[in-house]
Amino acid sequence: MTHASVFRGSHKCTTMRSNSRPCGQTTPLASRCYSHAKVETDEEFDARWVTYFSKPDIDAWELKKGMNTLIGYDLVPEPKILDSALRACRRLNDLASAIRILEAVKDKSGPHKDIYPYLIQELQPTLIELGISTPEDLGMDKL
């Protein structure tokens, strides 16, 4: 798996230069009307979120806000982001939220059934270390 967030949503395009155009078409250099904003790479995105959850004195509101925002994005978070979030739960003494986060990313994967087992596999050391049971362990993945 690459560094990029797994199954990321739409990617922004970058400006094209006229040098690459085929013969017969002349386009002035850099006259496209694309935004000049800097596009955040997947690594930067991941790092930003890992940092967010790694705040040592993170409070419950920030955890909630962070998780709800993250789940709102069109992507399944990388294991390293989830690891950081689970550790934040540990600092806040909140096991229930940790289990909830696992449920949420499983739901986020949608029809791609292979994402969640991959995430659990990557998070296994953290889950064992912190003593977080998965919803499957607790029988909460069934109705």
Nearer to another protein, 99 or 119 (CB): 99
Query: Does residue 80 bind another protein (CB under 8 A)?
Result: no
Provide φ and ψ at 21, rounded to 5°: -80, 150
- List the one residue from 30, 107, 117, 124 that touches another protein (CB under 8 A): 107
| Region of 12-20, 44-52, 75-83, 134-142 interacting with another protein (CB under 8 A) | 134-142
Count of residues engaged in binding another protein, rule: CB under 8 A: 31
Q: Assess 97 for contact with another protein (CB under 8 A).
A: yes
Does 100 bind another protein (CB under 8 A)? Our answer is yes
Residue whose CB is less far from another protein, 6 or 70: 70
Give whichever of 17 and 113 is closer to another protein, judged by the CB atom: 113
> Shortest Cβ distance from residue 1 to another protein (Å)?
23
CA distance 132 to 72: 24
Closest-CA residue to 98 (of 64, 47, 54, 56): 64
Residue whose entry in the numeric block shows the structure tokens 């991959």? 118
Residue 7, classed as helix, strand or coil, is: coil
The owner of tokens 């997947």 is 42
Q: Confirm if 80 and 45 have CB atoms less than 8 A apart.
A: no
Nearest to another protein of 54, 109 (CB atom): 109
Measured distance CA(59)–CA(88) in Å, rounded: 9
Q: Which residues contact 139 (CB under 8 A, 6 or more apart)?
A: none
Could you list the residues that contact another protein (CB under 8 A)?
63-64, 67-68, 71-72, 90, 93-97, 99-101, 103-104, 106-107, 130-133, 135, 137-143
